[in-house]
Amino acid sequence: MVYKKNMFWHSVAALVFLAVIVLPAAAADNKTADNKPVALVNGKVIPRADFEAELNKIRQQYETQGKTLSEEQIASLKENILDKFIRIEVLWQEALKKNITADKKEILEQKSKLRERFPDEKAFEAALTDMGLTESELNEKLGQSVAIQKLIEEEVAKKVTVSEKEMKSFYEENPQYFKEQPQVKASHILIKVEENATDAEKAQAKDKIRQIQEKLKKGADFAALAKEYSQCPSSAQGGDLGFFGRGRMVKPFEDAAFALKEGQISDVVESPFGYHLIKVTEKKEAKTMSFDEAKEKIEQYLIEKHIKQKVDQYITTLVKEAKIEKFFQD
């Protein structure tokens, strides 16, 4: 089976998005006194200023965690950063060589996705300022990112295949991945109790949950009561929490839910969040997924794995074929 495009974008998104963050906005052909190169890739400059900015950003991240890098770690970090710049530059040059570019619509789509990462336009513009990017430079970087994505799709991803035999072998050799633990599907009604609540406030909350419990005993609809009274965001869905396994919920809640039968409603359950009434609507016993059930996930995993391997090989080949001069230790 050949790759599915949505799988491809997921696989290489992290790689190509680096083009937005680290690829120089405009690479010069010659060395300049103001911005000496840290490397030349087929004559194209990777500016020292960009390299130093990336290095300082990572060092600051370590410092905020109270960590100090040794000389050996700094040397390794410099090599990794420079290699990252070189890998992106050779991809960009290869895209240009093959006349692969991005149109305005594709750039706008990428910019829209980038904006969605920020709460508002002001925060987005502040981030650009922090990165030292103008809107025009951002557009250029996004264009480079899209072009690299298209290059990798054409030269690598479209050529990836996964056979039925390979998927079956993976299934048979990795049974641990296909074991499903018991799960329950439950809804709940929560009356919150704050951590520092007084005895009177706790008693008031417990009285309220008892009143709701009485309504249920008289035949009231659980989902309707959850929408009306529950103080959990799940109230909008009638208290529905979906399926969950062991270890997902706090222990008092989990123990109560797994002890219930399908359709059964619990007594009042106390947890660190407050008081709950829990209704189990469905239960799934532990089982091992069949090959047919697991097939789509196996395919996705193997395709992504192969794409990553082949992208690494493709970039390694481009780097070997390029004329690269490094000056970062000057």
User: Which residue pairs from 277-280 have beta carbons closer than 8 angstroms and sit at least 24 positions apart in sequence?
Assistant: 277/188, 277/189, 277/209, 277/212, 277/213, 277/216, 277/222, 278/186, 278/187, 278/188, 278/253, 279/186, 279/187, 279/188, 279/222, 279/239, 280/184, 280/185, 280/186
Whether residue 138 sits in one domain with residue 10: yes
> How many whole angstroms from its chain centre is CA 250?
25
157 and 24 in a common domain? yes
Mean pLDDT of 80-96: 94
Distance CA 25, CA 129 (A): 14
pLDDT score at 238: 96
Contacts of residue 272, defined as CB under 8 A and 6 or more positions apart, other chains included, come to 195, 250
- How does residue 45 score in pLDDT terms, banded at 50, 70 and 90? very high
Verify that 302 and 271 share a domain, yes or no.
Answer: no
- For the cut 60, the answer to whether the pLDDT of residue 6 exceeds it is no
Question: How much is the average pLDDT of 244-268?
Answer: 95
pLDDT at 34 over 80: no
- pLDDT for 21: 44
Residues of the domain holding 279: 182-285
- Is 0.75 surpassed by the pTM of this model? no
pLDDT digits (tens, 9 = 90+) for 294-325: 999 999 999 999 999 999 999 999 999 999 99
CATH of the domain at 105: 1.10.4030.10
Tell me: the pLDDT tens digits for 146-160? Answer: 999 999 999 999 999
- φ, ψ for residue 243, nearest 5 deg: -85, 145
213 & 142 share domain: no
Q: For residue 199, what are its two tokens?
A: 């005895």
* pLDDT tens-digit series, residues 121-180: 888 888 888 777 888 888 888 999 999 999 999 999 999 999 999 999 999 999 999 998
